[in-house]
A and B are shown apart, each in its own frame.
Chain A
């Protein structure tokens, strides 16, 4: 086996085992509820082992264990300082995952031990630079919930079982890379999303869609000063951009509190140092966390046609003020676009997933569309995706790409990838070839038969700024032409046969006395 094959194998194993544990133990609990426990515990184990690795390096030459060092005030101070500077938090020896596992084995573990351990983690960051990244990170893991059991003993028993199962898995060892754990974590998020049904679309963008967005915004770049996702969910789209180019800082905001916690864990699990990401919890449109930053890459998969206040006071908000009209109350799609454009750097690229309606809906949305195309000329490409790609919603979506300084500013590229997919049981999937074809076509900016079209701005004008993809990408299939001469001949031949046959039949009819 080559290294990558081996890694892939290991990763697949890890993912399967994690999902099995989750399924075995969740009992009567809703997938979305149990998710918080299993993801929280994986994260806790990761933080513990990360601490142990750092301590091992720090104490490498001192010939002393972590526990012994902790007993010594001088050592303790230095360790604390170093750990905070390096990883942003401290886990004391008696709070380590491995220590609690020992207690479970010795049957001295109480659920309170875990409670205390995770509280200590958060407490260790208080007053430090990392405070924001760790604040209330574990709050979704409610260890007092009766869902885990009615008594302390029952809760202790269930959590012990989960921890022992997790302890049995290899995490970051030998040739297993940290990304694998991060990916396994994301895989779980995806699996939970897939089983959670309707609400799931909110916190999970399918990897292949993320990949397209990431490849688009990193086109021609190896290094990005920063990337911003105003509706970042669990952060997978941001991390995906980090895979296509070196990202120096990640910015994001997420409305849902639990998902926001997942995003922070996801960052850390993917080895993004707490210095290098700034995520915020809250409503991006009403209470933006990012107010004046400009970003080299802006990506998002915002909630489709969400409601927002569309309060007239927004007309004074610089994000929306130039367009003349606000996105309608019942469809915030363009409000997100406007917010993103406001934060897009002049040399930056932006890609956003939206429902098809943004392409052709009238009224205020038409005004905004027209402004973006005619006044600003920011629209660079429109990519139609197949329907039924997302969890919990079947509607077809599209990707809009915007740039402030366009290289080819006389035209707009349209791609119709609506037929490029593999059919799945509940969902359609984009295959790697589909992703590559879309990205290649985008990068080459070429017209391909029945797939893409480079349209002049004039054509868009003639279509009254209606961007409905079939108007540009011609998918017309010629009808099979009829050979009129042959048909005529056939009709005559048959007529002749009928004449002969009718004579014969008439012969019979006369015999029968019917004719």
Chain B
């Protein structure tokens, strides 16, 4: 194999200034070894024991919890595939998903573990763990792209991989690069944890604000008037206007109302859209078949939706943001399920006819606006956090490209 031209300049584009030497070309087999996991039979699994890590548990820089367990004794029989803290594992089947290599470091929660077939344990100098992770990520990704061209079911041949040649700096530079990348990884990890916490926090406020365990005060520091019980029909009317003009909109459980052109879905909409329903900015649209799962949202767009949806407009003194969040509370979703009709969950349906009779407690307009606005801000914060994480990942990718030869 000669994947590297010998006379190429072996110096990375971006480098810590104290290092000057050229990087050396090495065959991977001189640096690492790879052991494939073992196949086990169904009757060998037990309920509780040593987790068995399978290829599908390995994601990019992340492991998911295995579902199968093996008896403790197996650790003794299979030492070379037993996994411990700091080991690097590699998914050998379909190794790249969404452009990312299935490679990850084994953390404390999966130590010890055993490895199933079509997954590999990488044996290397553990003092350089922080360096090898980005290094292998970069080079094995390249390897896969070059070696599995034209194959439907790409997989990594460990023999071929080991004969692959890569470039590598001297020990000190390895250490420094490793430390740097470990900080980047840690940063991403912390920001992801923050994202989870922000979502958890929003959920907590959803629980407490709609049950009025927590409440806002007006500018004088006084509480708002008591919430009033109303039927939905007193707050929301059904919009029945039909139109075939405008952007096609779609309602999703996670993202509310989105433009159809921006989601990754097959267009099954009928050619003749004359029966489609009109949606105005600030309307709430919901999927009557999925309302019991929370498929509703406030629209920021004017457009049309499939006739299968129901469109709601506000009546006087109703803040649609407030309603949109209210409709996503655990209790409301349960109420929607109870009031849905149909023989099986596949056919449960909540039309306006049933929805309009449901009761909900509603604060005065000012408090509604405050609550709606508060949750909007929380959502915006969550969105910014996601964007930050994406940027950090892109940044890391850039360093991977420039700091390795």
Contact = CB atoms under 8 A, between A and B. Distances in A.
Interface of A: 355-357, 360, 387, 394-396, 466, 468, 470-471, 476, 479, 481-484, 487-488, 490-491, 494-495, 497-498, 501-502, 504-505, 508, 511-514
A511 B207 contact: no
B339 interface: yes
A484 B205 contact: yes
B126 interface: no
B343 interface: yes
B16 A511 contact: yes
Given A357-B343, A479-B330, A484-B204, A494 B197 contact: yes
Contact of B344 (A394, A468, A470, A484): A394
Nearest to A478: B330
A490 B200 CA distance: 11
B343 A482 contact: no
Contact of A482 (B17, B200, B331): B200
Nearest to A477: B334
B337 A487 contact: no
Contacts of A471: 338-339
Interface in B295-338: 330-331, 334, 337-338
A482 B339 contact: no
Contact of B207 (A357, A482, A505, A513): A482
Contact of B197 (A468, A481, A487): A487
Given A395-B344, A498-B194, A482 B204 contact: yes
A453 to B, nearest CB: 12
A495 B194 contact: yes
Interface in B190-205: 190-191, 193-194, 197-198, 200-201, 203-205
23 contacts: A356-B343, A360-B341, A387-B344, A396-B344, A468-B338, A468-B341, A470-B338, A471-B338, A476-B334, A479-B203, A479-B207, A482-B203, A484-B201, A484-B208, A487-B204, A491-B194, A495-B194, A501-B183, A501-B190, A505-B184, A508-B183, A512-B14, A513-B17
Interface of B: 14-17, 180, 183-184, 186-187, 190-191, 193-194, 197-198, 200-201, 203-205, 207-208, 330-331, 334, 337-339, 341, 343-344
Contacts of B17: 511, 513
Contact of A481 (B198, B201, B207): B207
Contact of A470 (B200, B337, B343): B337
A505 B182 CA distance: 10
Given A396-B344, A470-B337, A497 B183 contact: no
A501 B200 contact: no
A74 to B, nearest CB: 67
Nearest to A497: B190
Nearest to B177: A508
B187 A501 contact: yes
A-B pairs with the 8 shortest C-beta distances?
Answer: A482-B204, A479-B330, A470-B338, A484-B204, A487-B201, A508-B180, A491-B197, A360-B341
Which of A482, A498, A504 has the largest count of B CB atoms less than 10 A from its CB? A482
A504 B180 CA distance: 9
A491 B201 contact: yes
Contacts of B330: 479
Contacts of B184: 505
Contacts of B180: 505, 508
By DSSP majority rule, is chain A's interface helix, strand, loop, or mixed? helix
Contact of A514 (B14, B204, B337): B14
Contacts of B193: 494
Contact of A494 (B194, B200, B338): B194
Contacts of A470: 337-338
Contact of B183 (A505, A511, A512): A505
A468 B330 CA distance: 21
Nearest to A388: B344
Nearest to A481: B207
Contacts of B339: 468, 471
B387 to A, nearest CB: 15
Contacts of A479: 203, 207, 330
Nearest to B186: A501
A328 to B, nearest CB: 16
A504 B183 contact: yes
A488 B201 contact: yes
A394 to B, nearest CB: 7
Contacts of B198: 491
Contacts of B338: 468, 470-471
A395 B201 CA distance: 40
A288 to B, nearest CB: 29
A428 to B, nearest CB: 13
Contact of B187 (A476, A488, A505, A513): A505
Contacts of A483: 204
A396 B342 CA distance: 10
A479 B208 CA distance: 12
Contact of A502 (B15, B187, B203): B187
Contacts of B191: 498
Contacts of B190: 494, 497-498, 501
Contacts of A513: 17
Nearest to B354: A466
Nearest to B203: A482
Contacts of B14: 512, 514
Contacts of B203: 479, 482
Given A387-B344, A470-B338, A501-B183, 9 more contacts: A394-B344, A468-B338, A487-B201, A494-B197, A505-B180, A505-B183, A508-B183, A511-B17, A514-B14
Given A495-B194, A512-B16, A514-B14, A487 B344 contact: no
